[in-house]
Amino acid sequence: MDRRDLLRAFVALPLISSGRAVAAPDASGIDEDFAVLRAAMAIHPGAHRYLSPGELARHLAAFESDYAAGVRAASYDRCYLALSRFLTTIRCGHSYPNFFNQTDPAVKALFDRPTRLPFDFEWIGRSMIVTADHSGTNALPRGARITAVDGRDVGDILDTLMPYTRGDGHNDGKRRSLLGVRGAEDIEYFDVFHGLLLPPIGGVHRLALVQPDGRATRVEVPAIGLAARQATMTRVREDSDAPRWTYHVRPDGVAVLDMPGWAMWNSKWDWKSWLSDRLDEAATTHGLVVDLRRNEGGDDCGDPILARLIQRDLIGWTFEPKVRFREVPATLAPHVSTWDDGFRRIGVRGADLGGGWYGLPDRARPVPIRPDAKRLDVPVAALIGPANSSATFGFIYAARRSGRVRMFGEPTGGNRRGINGGGFFFTKLPGSGIEFDLPLIGYFPTTPQPDAGIEPDVVVPVTVEAIATGRDPVLDAAAAWAVAHRAGPVRG
């Protein structure tokens, strides 16, 4: 059975809700939930990056009112939405009730619902553009523009979901990117919040759209569940021993290294050896293009690339790391877990920076990237965009400092005012059992910076025409630059 036949089997199933056995939030634990969240905010390194203490207090009060209403209604959904909405107010791209860290009953209750749109899409501004049709109707070609879903203008849908979508600062390109559906995540951001806030009626989505030829049409498509969505996924799973990235050489002699993700902590694949071999091969080509456009981050998998480009040590990350606690507060300690218990005492040997801030001990500070004995002397370009907000934001920042990589595409996610991360407490509200990710280290610029991502050297926006025709003008522009510079200096 091929993927299309399998998907048709899924969408033909009765669209009934699977049993949701998650327990209702415990009203007796609500005060403890509030205490845990307030303790977490007291050590969150980005809590006041964009909010004054008064603004944060008002958002906390609004959360407590909404959360208490959810508890009184015995609604797990409302409690989850209240926490999601609050965490976005601090404008930290690493703070959210992580889909993948909830209990199994919560995952089934919140995320395993037959509410999903049966197609993939990208947002271009406030337009929803189809990139793949999984509906079985053949009515949604690439490049079709959805104008309304269930009678609601898609721009209004975007406005409804954005306040629940994580991102750093006021860099809304990242939020819009997260709300696209690409078949690349086990649980898609759009699916979760669209399903919770704007579910379809009767298991059917009613779409208004404009076809690529300009015709306005309407179509009804089945709403699908989590299993049907996951059946359309094209990415290699993170726990696989198969290569997660691809490499090929174009007819023009330019090598393309596509790296859609760097989360390697569950991977059995020897990515370091694979990457080393590919970089050896790339040294014989007319240039290398590294495609990071779908890559949010993970491990520092870009460092081996930079090591082949530099001739001296590179301090690629110049942001100053700070934390807001010596040891995890007693109120919080029983309710957090982490992969490194050293995080519980992360500020103990760090310098007192004043104002409730502490530095990191020297052993915890980033080390420079050191040159590799093997050199990569061909032109190197990177394709970047709003998904780049964590380790890929760091790579792009370092690549620009190296002076050896030309950037093509759209502005990144993340934020030049700094981001939070480095270590995490997976924090659980004891009354409801809802988990949220609490980053521990704040990274701050040493000079004033704009509230924005990193701009590419060459801006090449995504267009509806490119999606409809399957063209990739960003890659084409980068490859043309590499060919033009293959015999000369690598600078643009």
Task: State pLDDT tens for residues 303-361.
Answer: 999 999 999 999 999 999 999 999 999 999 999 999 999 999 999 999 999 999 999 98
pLDDT in the model for residue 26: 82
What value does the mean pLDDT take over residues 229-239? 84
3-state secondary structure (DSSP) of residue 45 = coil
3-state secondary structure (DSSP) of residue 221 = strand
Sign of CA dihedral 40, 46, 52, 56: negative
What confidence tens digit (pLDDT) does each residue in 3-19 have?
Answer: 333 233 333 333 333 34
pLDDT in the model for residue 240: 77
Q: Determine whether 213 is exposed, middle or buried from the number of CB atoms within 10 Å of its CB (0-12, 13-18, 19+).
A: exposed
What value does the mean pLDDT take over residues 424-448? 97
Contact between residue 10 and residue 134 where contact means Cβ atoms under 8 Å apart: no
Neighbours of 35 (CB within 10 A): 15
CA distance 429 to 132: 38
Where exactly does CATH 2.30.42.10 map onto the chain? 3-16+113-231
Closest by CA to 388, choosing from 189, 187, 237, 167, is 167
Average pLDDT along the chain: 93
DSSP characters for 310-328?
-SS-B----PEEEBS-SS-
SS (H, E, C) 182-205: CCCCCCCHHHHHHHHHCCCECCEE
405-409 and 458-459 beta bridge pairing: parallel
pLDDT at 202 over 80: yes
Sole residue written with tokens 């924005």: 452
pLDDT at 159 over 80: yes
The region of weakest confidence among 8-12, 206-210, 389-393, 421-425 is 8-12
Contact between residue 250 and residue 260 where contact means Cβ atoms under 8 Å apart: no
The model's confidence at residue 363, banded by pLDDT at 50, 70 and 90, is low
What value does the mean pLDDT take over residues 214-239? 92
Taken as a whole, the chain contains a residue count of 492
pLDDT in the model for residue 23: 78
Q: 247 forms bridges with which residues in the sheet?
A: 257
What confidence tens digit (pLDDT) does each residue in 140-149 have?
Answer: 999 999 999 9
CA distance 409 to 260: 15
What confidence tens digit (pLDDT) does each residue in 100-140 have?
Answer: 999 999 999 999 999 999 999 999 999 999 999 999 999 99
pLDDT in the model for residue 9: 31
Q: 66 forms bridges with which residues in the sheet?
A: none
pLDDT at 2 over 60: no
Cα Dmax for the chain: 71
pLDDT at 292 over 70: yes
Please state, in angstroms and as integers, the Cα–Cα distance from residue 256 to each residue in 236, 265, 472, 476, following that order.
18, 24, 13, 11
pLDDT in the model for residue 15: 31
CA distance 250 to 472: 13
Architecture of domain 3-16+113-231 in this structure: Roll (2.30)
The model's confidence at residue 22, banded by pLDDT at 50, 70 and 90, is confident
Helices 189-197 and 154-161, interaxial angle, to 10°? 100
What confidence tens digit (pLDDT) does each residue in 76-102 have?
Answer: 999 999 999 999 999 999 999 999 999
The model's confidence at residue 487, banded by pLDDT at 50, 70 and 90, is low
CA distance 426 to 418: 21
Closest by CA to 445, choosing from 317, 357, 351, 347, is 317
pLDDT in the model for residue 364: 65
CA distance 255 to 281: 9
pLDDT in the model for residue 342: 95
Sole residue written with tokens 């991977």: 267
270, amino acid identity: D
CA distance 56 to 89: 8
List of residues 6+ apart from 204 with CB closer than 8 A: 220, 221, 222, 223
Closest by CA to 242, choosing from 207, 267, 260, 218, is 267
pLDDT in the model for residue 437: 98
Q: 245 forms bridges with which residues in the sheet?
A: none
Predicted model pTM: 0.92
What value does the mean pLDDT take over residues 156-177? 98
Q: Determine whether 168 is exposed, middle or buried from the number of CB atoms within 10 Å of its CB (0-12, 13-18, 19+).
A: buried
Please identify, in words, the CATH class of the domain defined by 246-484: alpha beta
Q: 121 forms bridges with which residues in the sheet?
A: 130, 181
pLDDT in the model for residue 25: 84
Helices 76-89 and 53-72, interaxial angle, to 10°? 170
What value does the mean pLDDT take over residues 273-297? 97
Query: Who wins on pLDDT, 158 or 183?
Result: 158
CA distance 366 to 221: 50
pLDDT at 235 over 50: yes
Closest by CA to 91, choosing from 441, 420, 443, 412, is 420
Contact between residue 388 and residue 412 where contact means Cβ atoms under 8 Å apart: yes
Where exactly does CATH 3.90.226.10 map onto the chain? 246-484
The model's confidence at residue 157, banded by pLDDT at 50, 70 and 90, is very high
The model's confidence at residue 242, banded by pLDDT at 50, 70 and 90, is confident
pLDDT in the model for residue 27: 85
DSSP code at position 173: H
pLDDT in the model for residue 21: 59
